Amino acid sequence: MLELQHLTERVILSADLPLGAVPAHRTKIEVFQFLGGLCDAIEGLNVLLKVEVVARVCGVPEVLQYLKGRNVRVMLDLKSSGTDNTLLNEYLVYARYEPAIVTIDSRVTRHAFDGIKNMLPSALVLPFGLPTDKGDADFVAEGYHDRRSAAKDYFVRAEYLEAEGLLCAPRDIRWIPSYQRDQVSIVCPGVKPSDAMADSNSLNALAPTEAQRAGTDFFVFGRGVNDHPDVRGRVEQMLDLLQLR
């Protein structure tokens, strides 16, 4: 694991809307109430909040400003793409809110990637990796032999960008070249409590301790935690299970 001085939070809670909720049908008030509940749940805990869809629904600057006001550090998971100027102008706006982690499309130019890293010197800038819910057949449709070949292609692109981190499912870690593994931090969506594994997004997921043994450095939890009746208790359970507090 690459040691990151400015990033001590190893558990990341995803602000996924409840299963079945259609983002376009949610008002800003409803979304901010949902975010507020998550902020209350993690108050005082060493946890990041990952935002994506909720930020697009309510406006990225508005969501970032609200979370900064709540003293909640953020993983901004927009997976942005576009021309160099478009990306640099977009992240210039986000930089003022000091996100801890940001994601961008792995196919951006080196110039854009370096520019965003320079704008966010305290952030971990991640090239977006492989969705956790895709299997071999999905990647064959995209021109790869299987998920493994897609993962290896992603690791090559990340190395070209000199990224300090990788974003992949915990089951993909086994395919990271050994020389690259020590040069990066690995952020893994698809980490699920063992009693929440049987859902539509569990194809490449692992339970927390299994993900830890596989080499995960930063653990992203979604609805298996944030949709629980006791979100704070669930987060504390994950922190204790991973011995991170």
CA distance 170 to 89: 33
Q: What is the distance of C-alpha 68 from the center of its chain?
A: 18
CA atoms within 13 A on the CB side of 103: 21
Locate the domains of the chain by residue range: 11-241
Instruction: State pLDDT tens for residues 69-103.
Output: 999 999 999 999 999 999 999 999 999 999 999 99
- As a whole number, mean pLDDT of residues 217-238 equals 93
Contact (CB, 8 A) for 116 and 104: yes
Residue 56: per-residue pLDDT: 80
Q: Are 84 and 75 in contact (CB under 8 A)?
A: no
Strand order in the sheet with 185-188: 124-127, 101-104, 74-80, 47-51, 11-14, 218-221, 185-188, 165-167
- Alpha helices per DSSP H over the chain: 28-42, 53-58, 60-69, 84-95, 110-119, 136-141, 147-160, 178-181, 208-214, 223-226, 231-241
pTM: 0.93
> How many angstroms separate the CA atoms of 245 and 236, rounded?
9
Domain 11-241: which topology? TIM Barrel (3.20.20)
How far is residue 78's CA from residue 55's CA, in Å, rounded to a whole number?
9
DSSP symbol at 130 = -
pLDDT at 207 over 70: yes
Nearest Cα neighbor of 34 from 55, 61, 3 is: 55
Q: What is the mean pLDDT of the chain?
A: 90
Q: What is the pLDDT of residues 104-160, one digit of tens each?
A: 999 999 999 999 999 999 999 999 988 888 888 888 888 899 999 999 999 999 999
